[in-house]
Amino acid sequence: MNSEELCDLVVDALEEIKGLDIIKLNVRDMTSVTDWMIVASGTSSRHVQALADNVAEKAKAAGQRPTGIEGESGGEWVLLDLQDALVHVMLPKVREFYNLEKLWSITPSGDAAATDG
């Protein structure tokens, strides 16, 4: 599975259980750590955890085991490391505070980068 297919799998898994405001950022030209940064919101701590669990389950079924999952105990922000994709699922207040979309959409020249493909 290539990184674009993995990104699509993640977005589908998030949409399947009603993830909100799903954004995918192509960051391959900004970092060697990952190709995609996917950010989504959940309506409650339980929803955030359910979204992250669904992504992990779908990724495992496709042969992409997460190399790490952080934040499951709190449920305000869960990070899944799928190597070619980092998935951030957050409560809206946490997402607004950290504003990862803005941070990762700024290119070295200061211009906003494209958010897909």
In this prediction, residue 13 carries a pLDDT of 97
DSSP code of 108?
A: T
C-alpha distances (whole Å) from 56 to each of 30, 80, 114 are 25, 8, 26
The answer as to whether 109 is a domain residue is no
Domain around 88 = 3-103
The answer as to whether 111 is a domain residue is no
The total number of structural domains in the chain stands at 1
d(CA 55, CA 59): 6
**What percent of the chain lies above the pLDDT cut of 70?**
89
d(CA 22, CA 113): 17
Q: What is the pLDDT of residues 27-75, one digit of tens each?
A: 988 888 899 999 999 999 999 999 999 999 999 999 999 999 999 888 8
The answer as to whether 113 is a domain residue is no
The answer as to whether 55 is a domain residue is yes
C-alpha distances (whole Å) from 14 to each of 10, 32, 85 are 6, 25, 14
> Any idea what the CATH number is for the domain that residue 59 is in?
3.30.460.10
| Interval 105-112 mean pLDDT | 54
